[in-house]
Amino acid sequence: MASSLFRKRGWGSLCLAWVLLLLAGPVLAQRIVVRLDSAEMQALRLHPRLRQSTQEIEEQRALKRGSFAPANPDFLWSAPTGERWAPGVVQTIDLPNVYRNQARAANAGIVLAERGLDVNRATVRRDVRLAYLTLQFTEAQVRQLIYQDSLFQALQQATNRLYAAGEVTALQRVSTEAEARQVRNQLEQATVDQRSAQRRLGLLLGQPNADLTAETNLRETGPELARTGAELLGTLSGQDSVAVALSPTLAYYSQNVTLSQSGISLVRARRTPALTVGYQNQAFENSPFKYRLQFGVSLPVWFWTYRSQLQAATARSKAAQAQLQVQRLELGTQYQQALADTRKFASSLTYYEQTGLPQSSAIISQSQRLFRAGEISYLVLIQSLNQAFTIQNTYLTTIRDYRQAIVELNYLRGQ
């Protein structure tokens, strides 16, 4: 009976194991290692912002195909002789200059839509880089806090044993427990931030529920970042007008000025007279020339209408020029700020690479050794560990901020 019971329990355990594997399978299958370049390509292919820009380009191209748009013909029935009704048609055609200006304005609209696509492409690329960086940072934070948590959990267990042996006070035991709980709380918050970063990047990649992980560890990129950052700073121009000359945002607003100027030329062209041609059967049946042709000129006599349209087009052009100046000023200000941040974080990263990190590692190892040897107190140990972990966490924050500044610089420079 015991063997039968064992077989039943063994079979039940096996079934339970299979069920757990089946449940865990999809979770494991969803874990995706993401490379930054692959993420950028996928986002550029799937992002709705770019699909919107593509449709806007198609809209402007369709409008250009209709740039030669004469007025609708007038089909007439009249009885000038009073004998019978006769059909006729009259067509008004603008001068060629009007259609040429309409085509130029349509071309300017197409280029503006293409510049908008460039702006959206650069924006999506920047968003992906920042989202990827956020995921890297949260993953590095979780790793750091897992290490801190394991260290403080071990310290808490050791303090509990010492308290049971009467070698530490109740205050030291409670303080150790409080430090351990605080680190555990920070770890839980960092885990939530990591899931949020995964979803943010997943939304850009069209995989909002995927378990994404960055290919590279943020901490390991510090030395390479110090080298590439120094090379970048050596090539950057101090003049913001030169640095942002290739900005897609600046190109977009420059093209908007061109479009507004095309609107002025089009309004002026429409102030010229138009030609009117037509024919109509107005004669008697025995008339030798049945079809009567007519020619005329359509005069823009309602001058106030064209004058108001010209004033509106001129105001629109001046507004576009002012908007271009505003964008140039804002981009220059943003460039100077990003450049200052890059230089600041470059100096900070150099300090942590050369001094801060080696000191933090030495503080952790030596404080634990001295505490086990009884040469330092519990309070000094806790203070030393907190100081070392603060240095390491600040190092991670410096790498993140440094990369953010570089991403912003490249975005402003059209890179």
CATH number at residue 340: 1.20.1600.10
Q: In this model, does residue 193 exceed pLDDT 90?
A: yes
What pLDDT does 375 receive? 83
Residue 328 domain-assigned (yes or no): yes
- In-domain check, residue 8: no
Q: pLDDT value at position 2?
A: 38
Per-residue model confidence as pLDDT tens digits over 199-236: 999 999 988 888 999 998 998 888 888 888 888 888 87
Could you identify the residue written with the tokens 């005069």?
299
Please report which confidence band the pLDDT of residue 287 belongs to, taking 50, 70 and 90 as the band edges.
low
- Name which residue leads in pLDDT, 351 or 378: 351
Query: Residues 128-150: what's their mean pLDDT?
Result: 94
Question: Residues 337-345: what's their mean pLDDT?
Answer: 91
Over residues 12-38, the pLDDT tens digits come to 444 444 434 444 444 444 678 999 999
pLDDT at residue 119 is higher than 80: yes
111-115, 265-269, 408-412: range with lowest mean pLDDT: 265-269
Look at the pTM and tell me if it is higher than 0.75. Answer: yes
Residue 163, pLDDT score: 82
Number of structural domains found in the chain: 1
Residue 38, in any domain of the structure: no
pLDDT score recorded for residue 22: 45
Is 20 among the domain residues? no
Highest mean pLDDT among 39-43, 85-89, 161-165: 39-43
How confident is the model at residue 7, as a pLDDT? 40
Residues 6+ apart with CB under 8 A from 136: 214, 216, 217, 218, 221, 400
* Euclidean distance between CA atoms 118 and 403, whole angstroms: 23
Specify if 68 maps to a domain. yes
C-alpha closest to that of 265 among 321, 322, 309: 309
Which pairing describes strands 86-93 and 74-78: parallel, antiparallel, or unpaired?
antiparallel
Average pLDDT over residues 131-151: 93
Lowest mean pLDDT segment, chosen from 52-66, 213-227, 238-252, 350-364: 238-252
Q: Could you give the CA distance from residue 194 to residue 31 in angstroms, rounded to a whole number?
A: 14
Of residues 117 and 368, more confidently modeled:
117
Question: In this structure, which amino acid lies at residue 231?
Answer: E
Query: Any idea how long the chain is?
Result: 415
In a domain, 27, yes or no: no
- Mean pLDDT of the 6-12 span: 41
Burial 212-223, CB ≥16 within 10 A → b, else e: bebeeebbebbe
In percent, the amount of the chain with pLDDT more than 70 equals: 88
Give the structural domain span for 323.
49-412
Q: Which of 407, 228, 412 is nearest to 336 (CA)?
A: 412
In the prediction, which pLDDT does 14 show? 41
Mean pLDDT of the chain: 84
| Model confidence band, residue 175 (pLDDT cutoffs 50, 70, 90) | confident
SS3 at position 279: strand
| Domain-embedded: residue 185 | yes
- pLDDT attached to residue 53: 92
Q: Using the predicted structure, report yes or no on whether residue 285 has a pLDDT greater than 70.
A: no
What integer pLDDT is reported at residue 396 of this predicted model? 94
Asked if residue 245 is part of any domain, the answer here is yes
Question: pLDDT tens for residues 50-94?
Answer: 999 999 999 989 988 888 878 888 888 877 666 677 778 888 888
